[in-house]
Structure 1
Amino acid sequence: MNRTSFRRALVPGVAALALLLTACGGDDDNGSGGNGGEASGVDYGTLEGELIAGGASSQESAQNAWLVGFQEVAPNVAVTYEPVGSGDGRTNFINGGYAFAGSDAYLTDDEGELSDATERCAGTDPIEIPNYVSPIAVIFNVPGVDELNLTPEAVAGIFAGEITSWNDPAIAESNEGANLPDADITPVHRSDESGTTENFTDYLDAAAGDVWTAGVVETWPTDAGGEAGNGTSGVVQVVTENENTIGYADASQAGGLGQANIGVGDEFVPPSADAAAKILEVSPRVEGRPDVDLAVDLDHTTAEAGVYPIVLTSYLLACQQYEDQATADLVKGYLSYVVSDEGQELAAAEAGAAPLSDSLQEEIQGIIDGISASS
């Protein structure tokens, strides 16, 4: 099983962050960690113990950065994050194996998850807070095409296998003057069960459900055709190595590939952290949820200017009450760091995440502050 922990060897970018954080805040006597500690009221330097969590692999790069930053402010805490995927993360949180979990989908009672999580959390409603927002880019490799505009219907038609040529009128009419080749389109999808696939097909289903008829799925439907790559890196590799291909991937990992502008209202919006973050501001909360549950029904059909509509919103799942005070303090401390200004800036720098808005940060921190022990 892969584990992400601050005790492992650091990748170059994160190692540089560690040096930067040490230079800026490593000599803080109380371990408050600057803005993070002051904002949350957590005295990180007094925390001791071990915290094991895991879940969404989409958060792995961000978690790497958070673990390094948290080590600087809380040197006596050992935190491990296992990027096992959203489904296993939710399962391990519910059965008590993880103190908290990362998930690309909020809890529902379709399979009893919400009820089971409530039971795991000493009968209190589980906490669900968005902590990682990133645009899912529609990446492409088409010789002679540097910029590409795609309507929702065109995106759905391509991945459903109904639009098969790059100079199809459904593409050409949105790309006047572009040198679109008379060549077959090869769509590329994930071969593994994926939160990214679930979020991407959620967009297709909402924005062009009459074209994309496979619904919202974590595993790509076999009858949709196309090529497959394992994980985000696999999709990016297939698109990079093969011309006239198109795929979907976390924008932070798209490298030098083309990234399509997606039709929203009367404009075409490129993927960016700021444009992705705006979708949280225009989307409604899931109805009937308690105050500690900030699950959002993303409005993929918004016509609001400047909003990028294909995003991955990942959550942290935690309890309001834990069996012992030590665990409650560790979870409160780590989650406070993640949503702090410092934590959000690290995720933006290392993983291309969209920083949470000030108002959402404040609301989330108020929820985290309520974490306590049941006895």
Structure 2
Amino acid sequence: MKFTTFGRVAAVAALAALTLTSCAANEGPAAGGSDGESGLTGTLVGGGASSQQSAQEAWVAAFQGMHPDVTVEYDPAGSGAGRDTFTAGGSAFAGSDRAFKDEELAEDNFAACVPGTGIVELPAYISPIAVIFNVDGVDTLDLDAATVAGIFAGSITNWNDEAIVSQNPDAELPDLAITAVHRADDSGTTENFTEYLHATAPDVWTNEADGVWPDGLTPESASQTSGMIDAVTSGTGTIGYADASRAGELGTVSIKVGEEYVPYSAEAAAAIVDASPAAEGRGEADLAIELDRTSTEAGVYPIVLISYLIGCTEYEDAESAELVKEYFSYVVSEEGQKVSADAAGSAPISSTIAEKSAAAIELIK
């Protein structure tokens, strides 16, 4: 990955903004019963996936409670922005709803890392992506992959289309235009969502998976998760996609898997992650996973994001290494996973992933 002068300036600007303002969670009361003698000090700057925002706020509050002389700042600017800022050295870690691609890793251009030492990628936050909608009088819908793809590709344009009605005979669906909303920013949630569409309905969704929405489709857009939620909530006949923890009172879709319709849940999200293989050809500390979107196993929900914590295996700055190592260790611990599950409804990582994550974190120096 190569950076233009603009990209590096943007990263520096992002870092400057972070040093001026920290997460609201930084101002919360101390948690965890710390006696103030942990010995850990400094400021840890990270940013990226907005899907992690609720979890990060909870992690930060608890971690700072245990380490009162540490400040953790996380900017939920989106996965693409987080990866760019981390790569340019503007942050010590990134949150991303996808792992770095092989071609990005081949560039070996991570400014905060000692050259040639690689990166850590931990699947620390697992959550279903909810297909959310706003139609008066309708709280839930059953849809198969081809119908979801048709709606977002623009071939299904009305809520009383036969493809929707046939799967929801008891729903009172209006003669109302569908307004599909997509993310305007480079989003890991978009990449996971479009990966599902292309894997399960390739004849309808002909575009490859990408964090940037295809040109010419669904002109309505919104930035970051909060913008998506606002756009769907304030619209009429709107539909979108977002981390399920942010679905709130909006209508949600149960997705057809095999012969059943599966609503999103933390348990169903965890089930498909555990059934999926590790990405091939990765370093010892890189725990990227290849999700099996086409699984027909009972009880799995296929529209899932694995949001990663990403850092260096060896930092140019010793303080950053120490802070990242401690923070990552807390996040993947049983306590840290419970905190995020309570705050964001995420699925705790399995004991197998937790053990592998702990081993990867030990490599950080």
C-alpha distance in structure 2 between counterparts of 1:367 and 1:353, whole Å: 22
SS in 2 for 1:346: helix
* Gaps in structure 1 of 5+ consecutive residues: 31-44
Change (3 A) 1:95 1:161: closer
Q: Match for residue 247 of structure 1?
A: 240
Whether the aligned pair in 2 keeps the contact of 1:93 and 1:101 (CA below 8 Å) is: yes
Instruction: Report the AA paired with residue 282 of structure 2.
Output: R
| Identity over aligned pairs, percent | 52
Whether the aligned pair in 2 keeps the contact of 1:3 and 1:83 (CA below 8 Å) is: no
User: How far 1:123 sits from its partner (Å)?
Assistant: 2.0
Whether the aligned pair in 2 keeps the contact of 1:166 and 1:182 (CA below 8 Å) is: yes
Change (3 A) 1:118 1:304: farther
Change (3 A) 1:308 1:234: same
Whether the aligned pair in 1 keeps the contact of 2:333 and 2:354 (CA below 8 Å) is: yes
Q: Match for residue 229 of structure 1?
A: 222
Q: Match for residue 57 of structure 1?
A: 50
Are residues 1:203 and 2:196 paired? yes
SS in 1 for 2:242: strand
Q: Match for residue 26 of structure 1?
A: 33
Q: Match for residue 152 of structure 2?
A: 159
User: How far 1:148 sits from its partner (Å)?
Assistant: 0.5
Whether the aligned pair in 1 keeps the contact of 2:132 and 2:252 (CA below 8 Å) is: yes
User: How far 1:256 sits from its partner (Å)?
Assistant: 0.4
User: How far 1:46 sits from its partner (Å)?
Assistant: 2.4
User: How far 1:184 sits from its partner (Å)?
Assistant: 2.3
Two-structure CA RMSD over aligned residues (Å): 2.5
TM-score (norm 1): 0.85
Q: Match for residue 296 of structure 1?
A: 289
Deviations 1:128-161 (A, max 9, x none): 1111112111111222322200000000011111
Instruction: Report the AA paired with residue 253 of structure 2.
Output: A
Change (3 A) 1:51 1:230: closer
Q: Match for residue 70 of structure 2?
A: 77
Deviations 1:263-306 (A, max 9, x none): 11111111112211222111111111122111111111111111
Instruction: Report the AA paired with residue 292 of structure 2.
Output: D
Select the residue among 177, 185, 194 that pairs with 1:184.
177
C-alpha distance in structure 2 between counterparts of 1:112 and 1:363, whole Å: 20
User: How far 1:4 sits from its partner (Å)?
Assistant: 8.9
C-alpha distance in structure 1 between counterparts of 2:125 and 2:171, whole Å: 35
Change (3 A) 1:292 1:183: same
Whether the aligned pair in 1 keeps the contact of 2:108 and 2:116 (CA below 8 Å) is: no
Whether the aligned pair in 2 keeps the contact of 1:57 and 1:86 (CA below 8 Å) is: yes
SS in 2 for 1:3: helix
Instruction: Report the AA paired with residue 154 of structure 1.
Output: T
Instruction: Report the AA paired with residue 308 of structure 1.
Output: Y
SS in 2 for 1:58: helix
C-alpha distance in structure 2 between counterparts of 1:181 and 1:52, whole Å: 48
User: How far 1:77 sits from its partner (Å)?
Assistant: 1.8
Whether the aligned pair in 1 keeps the contact of 2:128 and 2:264 (CA below 8 Å) is: yes
User: How far 1:168 sits from its partner (Å)?
Assistant: 2.1
C-alpha distance in structure 2 between counterparts of 1:336 and 1:117, whole Å: 22
Deviations 1:206-235 (A, max 9, x none): 111110122222232232134223332222
Whether the aligned pair in 2 keeps the contact of 1:107 and 1:114 (CA below 8 Å) is: no
Q: Which is further off, 146-155 or 59-68?
A: 59-68
Select the residue among 323, 328, 339 that pairs with 1:330.
323
Q: Match for residue 316 of structure 1?
A: 309
Instruction: Report the AA paired with residue 87 of structure 1.
Output: G
Select the residue among 210, 215, 228 that pairs with 1:217.
210
